[in-house]
Amino acid sequence: MWIMLNNATLSIVAHRTMPGHLLVRSRSELDINLIFPEADVMEDVRADYRFRAVIPRATVGSTILAELMSIDYDNFKNSVKDDKRHDLYLDIWQVYWDFGWRTPNPVTDEVGRLCAAVFDGDEEEEVAGMFDYRDPI
């Protein structure tokens, strides 16, 4: 699970041999220390996430819940103060935006199919084209 807070970015996965623990990973040691100050952060220069900490599931859960409950902003991107992190998140936002437009919309797709079924020939294509999944209803 990727967790993108306005001051830290974490990747959290199950620990392979310790079922009661999670592996909290990041590309920044500071990010783990900021959210889990008691964590023993290890470094592995060969890993894709260079920094990691083994933390009990309950601790991770309660800490992330506290972060969730402390949200006081109405726009996440604007709450990110660090310029480098903001730019990273903006890039991710753009990719996710593009993904959303490529994902079929069952509502508009079905409306287009129903309307197109009423017409024959050229009119069918014209009506179906009116319901591009990029257009909000």
pLDDT of residue 135: 47
Choose between 8 and 106: higher pLDDT. Answer: 8
Q: What end-to-end distance do the CA atoms of the chain give, in Å?
A: 32
Q: Where are the alpha helices (DSSP H) in 5-105?
A: 29-35, 57-69, 76-79, 83-102
User: pTM value?
Assistant: 0.73
Model pLDDT for residues 22-47, shown as the tens digit of each residue: 999 999 999 999 999 999 999 999 99
Contacts of 68 (CB under 8 A, 6+ apart): none
**Integer Cα distance of 28 and 123 in angstroms:** 57
Closest CA to 30 of 51, 15, 49, 48: 51
